[in-house]
Structure 1
Amino acid sequence: MSLGKVAAIAGGTVGAVGAVALAPVVLTSIGFTSAGVAAGSFAASMMSSAAIANGGSVAAGSVVAVLQSAAVASVGAGVGAAVGWVTSLFKKKPKHGDNDDDGDDGDDDEQVLKNKNKE
Structure 2
Amino acid sequence: MGFPTAATVIGVTAGAVGAVALTPFAIAMAGFSATGIAAGSVAAGMMSSSAVASGGGVAAGSLVALLQSAGAAGLSAAATAGVASVGGAAGGLFGGAVGLLKKMRR
Shared fold per TM-score greater than 0.5 = yes
Does residue 16 in structure 1 map to residue 2 in structure 2?
no
1:85-96 → structure 2 map (5 Å cutoff): none
Decide whether the 8 Å contact of 1:34 with 1:72 is kept in 2: yes
TM-score by length of structure 2 reads 0.62
The share of aligned pairs that are identical, in percent, is: 55
Q: Which has the higher contact order (CA 8 A, sep 6+)?
A: 2
> Please, which runs of 5 or more residues in structure 2 have no aligned partner?
78-106
Q: 1:2 to 1:47 in 2, by over 3 A?
A: same
**What is the aligned residue count?**
76
Match of 1:105 in 2: none
Structure 1 CA distance for aligned equivalents of residues 36 and 75 of structure 2 = 12
The AA in structure 2 aligned to 1:40 is: G
Q: Which has the higher helix share?
A: 2
Q: 1:3 to 1:57 in 2, by over 3 A?
A: closer
Match of 2:47 in 1: 47
Structure 2 CA distance for aligned equivalents of residues 3 and 27 of structure 1 = 32
Match of 1:33 in 2: 33
Q: How much is the aligned-residue C-alpha RMSD, in angstroms?
A: 2.2
Q: Deviations over 1:71-118 (max 9, x none)?
A: 2232798xxxxxxxxxxxxxxxxxxxxxxxxxxxxxxxxxxxxxxxxx
The AA in structure 1 aligned to 2:40 is: G
Match of 2:59 in 1: 59
> Please, which runs of 5 or more residues in structure 1 have no aligned partner?
78-119
Match of 1:7 in 2: 7
Q: Which has the larger radius of gyration?
A: 1
